[in-house]
Amino acid sequence: MENINWNLRTNMTMLTDFYELTMANGYLLHGMKDKIACFDLYFRNIPDSGGFAIMAGVEQMIDYLSDLHFTDSDIKYLSDQGVFCQEFLHYLRDFKFSCDVWCIPEGMPIFPNEPIVKVRGPIMQAQMIETMLLVTINHQSLIATKASRIVRAAAGRPVLEFGARRAQGYDASVLGARAAYIAGVAGTSCTIAGQQFGIPSLGTMAHSWVQAFENEFEAFKAYALAFPDDCLLLVDTYNTLKSGVPNAIRTAKEVLEPMGKRLLGIRIDSGDLTYMTVETRKMLDAAGLEDCKITVSNSMDEYLIRELIHQGACIDSFGVGERLITSRSEPVFGGVYKLSAIGEAGQKLEPRMKISDNTEKVTNPGCKELWRFYDRESGKALADLITLEGEMIAEDEPYEIFDPLHTWKRKTLDNFVAKKLLEPVFKQGVLVYRRRDIEEIRTYCASQLETLYETSKRFEYPQIYYVDLSQKLWDLRENYLRRHSW
């Protein structure tokens, strides 16, 4: 499927917090235009207290960075604000993106406090792109993470994303559907997402269709005649068990089967879904419709889906809307973008670190790499390690990792494979990344989830996956803290 530049239906360069531009103007005035800075994008907490999150939004980040430019109307608007110097406005008029960018591949499980995007380049540029990078990665990673939970709760039953009308805006519905598909949903009700990204578009009827006809059977009959090969009937408009299911069976027998067709399925959108589906299954089977599928919807999330399955509900697939597309239980991903080093072009950058009374806001200094250790025999992920750039890991020697907060907690790893996770995306502003279509990303996501132990996939109290610091990075952090503590 062709990559579609969804975000850039209009030029998105101005989607930035105003202070990014005022800081850039200030850097210029203080002779810092050519200063080189390194920024890390990472997140602090996993939504829903889960065991991992899923990286998403990389393709849209690439779209944005590939077409950064300020139009004449952008320059006029900024000039009219009365706070920017003429030299800065001239700089924007001739703006050309020239940063280096690395990121974790889309679809990979990610964990708190590790750099998932790294940017290095002129500080004015690296600063300016903060807002758009955060909104892009934060949103899609949030929805992919939620979708993964829901798909896993369904235990192999297809999950359909039905949330377009409840999303917080147009882009949220389209890009949310994209993120959900990457994480494993079978399709979407959002037609434009299907068109733009090649996601299967699915849907049948609403209650208004049934209400529009003289009676329920006439509504079902009309739909069956219109769509004999894909007939799925919504059976809870009036009375599911006394009217809807009997009329669906009648439609199968009197309309579809004389045409040599089968009733594909029924959907229930209200009521006691366990009781309804068990009774519906009995009625369908008794009528010889054992192959007729039962789909349920109605404010689904991972917990309700898990409970329905536990109770023995007879459900073949789930339609999930608002609680997926908005990640209603925890609708903020919380990614941040922090300066980690600064210096002159061609020279080693000096580490920088944010220190805070809130320990979770203390950053890790320096330009960094991210590694993942995999067990050589099982292929399972063992831990992640943040190192300074240039550090190497010898796979033929044991490696000791330790908890960066509780340093006495140590473990020696052996018989492992160590893989660098940050892949180059832009080199001096030129795209060097091999772009993936959505099916490749989706397959990659599924394969990477298989590298996690089941204990990390629990919804309640998942096993903590370790993200540790190398000894050199930990020493740098501790020395910086000592030098700058009061």
Determine the Cα–Cα distance for residues 329 and 61; give it in Å rounded to an integer.
26
Q: Per residue in 424-481, pLDDT tens?
A: 999 999 999 999 999 999 999 999 999 999 999 999 999 999 999 999 999 999 999 9
* pLDDT number for residue 10: 65
Gap between the terminal Cα atoms of the chain: 56
Q: What is the pLDDT of residue 357?
A: 87
Residue 485 confidence (pLDDT): 72
* Torsion angle in degrees (nearest 10) through CA of 272, 277, 279, 284: 150
Pick the CATH number of 204-298 from 3.40.50.20, 3.20.20.70, 3.30.830.10, 3.90.1150.10: 3.20.20.70
- CA dist 79 and 57 (Å) reads 32
Phi/psi at 84 (5° precision) = -105, 140
- For the 7-143+330-484 domain, the top CATH level (class) is alpha beta
pLDDT at 287: 98
Structure tokens, 295: 């789909």
Q: What is the predicted pLDDT for the residue at 5?
A: 53
> Which run of H or of E encompasses 382?
strand 381-388
Sequence letter at residue 402: F
- Which residue ranges in the chain fall short of pLDDT 70? 1-10, 486
Q: Where are the domains of the chain?
A: 7-143+330-484, 204-298
CB neighbour list of residue 145: distance below 8 Å, 6 or more residues apart: 46, 47, 48, 50, 52, 53, 54, 183, 327, 333
Q: What are phi and psi of 340, to 5 degrees?
A: -120, -15
